[in-house]
Structure 1
Amino acid sequence: MVNQFTSKKELWYCDCGLLPYAEAWELQKQLFLARKQGLIPDVVLLLEHPHTYTLGKVASKDNLLSSEDELRAEGINIFEIDRGGDITYHGPGQVVGYPIIDLNLWQKDSHKYLRALEELIISTASEYGLECGRNPKYTGVWIQDRKIAAIGIKISSWITMHGFAFNVNTELKKFNGIIPCGITDKSVTSLEAELCKPIEINEVKSKLLRHFINIFGHTGVVKTSPTDIKENLFSKVN
């Protein structure tokens, strides 16, 4: 098969709105396969999830503080997934980003990729006058000992999956049901909690997209939708 996207710097951008976790995960897997086969360019999905806890490959269920039955009764879904990292929360008010990009065309370095995702959040937060940074011990984006963004990725054949979760106006009490990322002596925060004013989530998505393009060097953006992807892309993947 001819790889049509081995050097082009086009980016597909999909704002998926509020998307159930299982649907987003399946979408990622289909896009990953298509990107690996060279059928599509790099893609970034920005979205929100309904209330969900995800456990990465090294997660301990000891960090889940309620039984799975209790959580499901509260409307919180639970998924064990194939990203790195421990347990985290996703929910409305949190911008989740899933880049499906070919690092062969950027830099084949997983650590630099993680730092680039952190820089994406740091640069976006700085537009609101908020100074964020890194923690030398833990991945993610921090304001002192408060975590504002979690990062967990998967890389195979230098194609990426999963990504970041940036707390914008998230319901922070939902983190009380877990030990986030297995870290017992730190807390979580959000853009809105730090700034003490309402933050419009679509505005944050626009800023994230602009910084994503700058960091990864894309020169053209094509906006698409989950419906377009399902109708026009998946038929190409055999």
Structure 2
Amino acid sequence: MNKEVEVQYLGVKDYKDTWDYQEQLFKNTLDLKIKNRREELDIPTKNYFIFVEHPHVYTLGKSGDASNLLISDEELKARNATYYKINRGGDITYHGPGQIVGYPILDLDNFFTDIHKYLRLLEEMVILTLAEYGLKAERSPGETGVWLDVGTPFARKICAMGVRASRWVTMHGFALNVNADLGYFDNIVPCGIKDKAVTSLNVELGRKEVDMVEIQQKLLKHFTNLFEATISKS
């Protein structure tokens, strides 16, 4: 079992280019697992954790409803946004500047073979990170992701999640609103959930801006502890 995770910081990168890159890492791991099984080898598989920030983009998961995008192609162009139907779980979400997007590409055979546990630990990583800023973040029953004021009329989502897994290899991941322009969420029904708001860490803290690198470091600290992983950097 290889619990070393290579962390990659891609900076600001186009969504489609990043998706293609994820797919290649994902395929490489799957191919190696198949080779190991067929040839009775034991070559360790690699694990990755990608941090990235995307230009404005809307993505629709394979189980999503296209009607949850509320604007036309022309309006997308006017807002300098793109739109992709993709192969993760979940419905529609937004990525953009001021948002930390994390893509763990892990071989869960190196950790534990339980997708439910995987999602809950990703949520816990975010919950623990936000707790360091004095926020009580929570899970919302039946709704993947991380929320504030669950069970009240003021419930609002601060982190969306959607993953894909095959042969226990994961891709896609989470999007945490740190300094996000929340106006872009007005163009969708976020995650297909009506009548619930979204928020961003800077709004909750009453700050103009929160240090993105600081948040990444805190997320990585909690990820390492929860997954009992060791970290290397590319």
TM-score by length of 1: 0.88
Stretch moving more, 70-79 or 31-40: 31-40
1:66 is matched with which residue?
Answer: 71
Count of matched residue pairs: 217
Instruction: Tell me the distance in 1 between the aligned counterparts of 2:79 and 2:101.
Output: 22
2:24 is matched with which residue?
Answer: 30
Residue 147 of structure 1 pairs with residue 168 of structure 2:
no
Stretch moving more, 102-111 or 169-178: 102-111
The 5-angstrom pairing of residues 184-203 of structure 1 reads 184-197=194-207, 198-203=209-214
2:109 is matched with which residue?
Answer: 104
1:17 is matched with which residue?
Answer: 11
**Equivalent residue letter for 2:216:** K
2:232 is matched with which residue?
Answer: 222
Stretch moving more, 153-162 or 207-216: 207-216
Instruction: Tell me the distance in 2 between the aligned counterparts of 1:175 and 1:8.
Output: 39
Give a deviation string over 1:122-180, Cα, whole Å, max 9, x none.
Answer: 01111111110010121110001100000000000100000000000100111011010
In 2 relative to 1, CA 39–27 (structure 1 residues): closer, same or farther, beyond 3 Å?
farther
Aligned Cα root-mean-square deviation (Å): 1.2
Unmatched runs of 5 consecutive residues or more in structure 2: 33-42, 150-154
TM-score by length of 2: 0.90
Unmatched runs of 5 consecutive residues or more in structure 1: 1-6, 225-238
Instruction: Tell me the distance in 1 between the aligned counterparts of 2:143 and 2:195.
Output: 12
Among 44, 49, 55, the residue aligned to 2:54 = 49
On the 8 A contact 2:45/2:107 being kept in 1, the answer is no
**Equivalent residue letter for 2:138:** G
Instruction: Tell me the distance in 1 between the aligned counterparts of 2:77 and 2:90.
Output: 22
Q: Secondary structure at the match of 2:140?
A: coil
Q: Secondary structure at the match of 1:57?
A: coil
Instruction: Tell me the distance in 2 between the aligned counterparts of 1:68 and 1:206.
Output: 37
Q: Secondary structure at the match of 2:180?
A: coil
Q: Secondary structure at the match of 2:147?
A: strand
1:178 is matched with which residue?
Answer: 188
2:152 is matched with which residue?
Answer: none
